[in-house]
C-alpha cells in the first residue's frame, strides 16, 4: 500500500474540481480555499499512537493494535456484572438516568448506606456502596454481603409500603385491574389452547398420510381458523 499524501494536496484537489470548461475565466473560490493555500496540513503520514494504559508485553516481538484505543475498565464494572448476574430481574425495573447538571454524584455519601437522597433504589446503589466499603478496608465478599443485605431490607420496606397503600386504597373503594403476571398467564393459556387445536388437526393429517394415498386428507386448520371456529361456537354454548 502506497503512502497517503492526499491530506497535503487538499487545496490542489479542490482547485482542480472547481475548474470549469464552460466558463474557464470565471473562477469561484470557496472561503476555505485561502487558508488551505497558506497553511496546508503539516502531518501527512505520521499517526499518533493511542495512549497505552497497560504494560507492554516484553515477550511480544511485534507490537499489535498500536493505533487502536485500548479498552477502559473501571472497578465498578466487575461489581456491577456480579450483582446483575445474581439479580437479573433488577434490570427490568425502570430507572431514571436524567441528571440536572452532571454533578449529582457529589451530593451522594455512600458511607451512610445504600439509600441516598434524590436517588431511586437500584443495583447501582449496591455497587457504589460495595465499592466504598472495599475502599475502606472491607474484603470484596464481605462488602458485597453487607451492601446486599441493606438492599434487601430496603426493598422489603418498599414492598410492605406498596401493599399497605393498595389495601388502604381498596378499603375506600379503589379498584385495581389484573396484574401483568395475570394478564401474561391468560395470554399464555389462550395461545396453548389454540396450539392444541392445531396440533390435533396436524396429528390427524399425518396419521391419514401414513395410512395410504387413497384416504382423502384434509388440510390442518390454521391458528386463525381455529380462533374463528371457537368464536362461532361460543354463542351456541351460552
Tens digits of residue pLDDT in 84-129: 999 999 998 888 777 777 777 888 899 999 999 888 899 999 999 9
For the chain, the structural domain boundaries read 6-38, 75-171, 181-237
| 97, three cell numbers | 438516568
Name the pLDDT band for 33 (thresholds 50, 70, 90). low
Query: Which pLDDT score, from 0 to 100, does residue 40 have?
Result: 62
Tens digits of residue pLDDT in 201-210: 999 999 998 8
| 80, three cell numbers | 456491577
Query: Which pLDDT score, from 0 to 100, does residue 11 have?
Result: 72
CB 130 within 8 A of CB 80: no
Tens digits of residue pLDDT in 34-68: 666 666 666 555 667 777 777 777 777 777 777 77
C-alpha closest to that of 36 among 57, 66, 16? 16
CB 33 within 8 A of CB 15: yes
Largest CA distance in the chain: 92
Amino acid at each position: 500500500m502506497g503512502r497517503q499524501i492526499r491530506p497535503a494536496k487538499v487545496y490542489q484537489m479542490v482547485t482542480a474540481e472547481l475548474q470549469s470548461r464552460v466558463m474557464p475565466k470565471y473562477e469561484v473560490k470557496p472561503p476555505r480555499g485561502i487558508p488551505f493555500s497558506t497553511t496546508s496540513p503539516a502531518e501527512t503520514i505520521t499517526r499518533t499512537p493511542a495512549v497505552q494504559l497497560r504494560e507492554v508485553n516484553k515477550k511480544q516481538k511485534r507490537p499489535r493494535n498500536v493505533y487502536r484505543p485500548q479498552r477502559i475498565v473501571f472497578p465498578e464494572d466487575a461489581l456491577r456484572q456480579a450483582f446483575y448476574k445474581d439479580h437479573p430481574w433488577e434490570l427490568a425495573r425502570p430507572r431514571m438516568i436524567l441528571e440536572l447538571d452532571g454533578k449529582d454524584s457529589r451530593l451522594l455519601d455512600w458511607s451512610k448506606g445504600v439509600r441516598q437522597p434524590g436517588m431511586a433504589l437500584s443495583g447501582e446503589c449496591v455497587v457504589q456502596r460495595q465499592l466504598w466499603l472495599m475502599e475502606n478496608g472491607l474484603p470484596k465478599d464481605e462488602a458485597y454481603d453487607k451492601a446486599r443485605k441493606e438492599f434487601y431490607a430496603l426493598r422489603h420496606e418498599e414492598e410492605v409500603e406498596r401493599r399497605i397503600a393498595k389495601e388502604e386504597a381498596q378499603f375506600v373503594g379503589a379498584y385495581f385491574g389484573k396484574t401483568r403476571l395475570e394478564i401474561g398467564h391468560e395470554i399464555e393459556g389462550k395461545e396453548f389452547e389454540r396450539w392444541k387445536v392445531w396440533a390435533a388437526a396436524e396429528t390427524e393429517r399425518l396419521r391419514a398420510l401414513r395410512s395410504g394415498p387413497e384416504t382423502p386428507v384434509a388440510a390442518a386448520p390454521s391458528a386463525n381458523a381455529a380462533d374463528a371456529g371457537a368464536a362461532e361456537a361460543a354463542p351456541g354454548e351460552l
